[in-house]
Structure 1
Amino acid sequence: MRIKCVGAIVLDDAGRLLLVRRARPPGAGLWSLPGGRVEPGETDAEAVVREVREETGLVVRVGRLAGTVDRPAPGGGVFEINDYLATVAHGTLTPGDDAADAGWYHPDELRRLPLTPGLIDALTEWRVVPPG
């Protein structure tokens, strides 16, 4: 079973990436892009806006698709994750919903964080962060 999901690649004016520390499985305790499942009847863009708002308190404008990854889901399914570039429209960064924490990280800080598997590779492949 394929489960459609989205993620948001949000960079600030200083080139820092918005990350959330997952509070629940999958990936509890690990840092990742804000995102989650696309609800029935929802577009990818609507899901990105909703998930970022729920997890960070920020409202974003959704841009182009940066890339897609498949990750294993519980029960033998597959999370099909479409990651979109996005910019902050307004709001105050406040972790919420299933995020234990949220913050802005410079690309050179990413390799020191406990990230969800494959995140740094995807961001490097999509040229969001430089190879390191």
Structure 2
Amino acid sequence: MRVNCVGAIIVDDAGRILLIKRGHPPGMGLWSIPGGRLEPGESDADGVRREVLEETGLWVEVGRLAGTVERPGPGRVTYVIRDYLATVADGVPTAGDDAAEVRWCTADELARLPLSAGLLDALTGWGVLPA
């Protein structure tokens, strides 16, 4: 079964990327970009806005698609994850929902954190990492 998911690549004016530490499986304890499963009938943009708000307390404007990855899930599930660029419109980052922590990271910090499988490679390949 294929499950549609979305993620948000959010970079601030200081060139840092917003990451959350997953508080629940899958990926519990790993750092990733905010995101999750789409709800039935939900558009990608609406899903990105909802997931970011639930996990970080931030309202975002959704930009272009950065890229798509597929990741294996439990059983025979395949997560199809479409990651979008997004910018903060309002709010202060606060961990919520599935996020145990939320923080802004430089590219150097990103390389030292325990990240979700394939995240660093995908962000690098899409050319969206902060300099």
Tell me the TM-score range normalised by the shorter chain: over 0.9
Aligned ranges 1:1-132 → 2 under 5 Å: 1-129=1-129
CA contact (8 A) 1:30 1:114 kept: yes
One-letter code aligned to 1:19: L
CA distance in 2, matches of 1:16, 1:111: 13
CA distance in 2, matches of 1:102, 1:109: 14
Aligned length: 131
SS in 2 for 1:83: strand
Q: Cα deviations across residues 64-118 of structure 1 (Å, max 9, x unaligned)? A: 0000000001112100000000000000110000100000001111110000010
CA distance in 2, matches of 1:107, 1:129: 7
Query: Measured at CA, do residues 106 and 116 of structure 1 come closer, stay the same or move farther in structure 2, by a change above 3 Å?
Result: same
Gaps of 5+ in 1: none
CA contact (8 A) 1:124 1:130 kept: no
SS in 1 for 2:39: coil
CA distance in 2, matches of 1:130, 1:108: 10
Give TM-score scaled by structure 2 length. Answer: 0.98
CA distance in 2, matches of 1:130, 1:43: 27
CA-based RMSD: 1.1
Gaps of 5+ in 2: none
Instruction: Tell me by how many angstroms 1:130 deviates.
Output: 6.8
The alignment-based identity, stated in percent, is 66
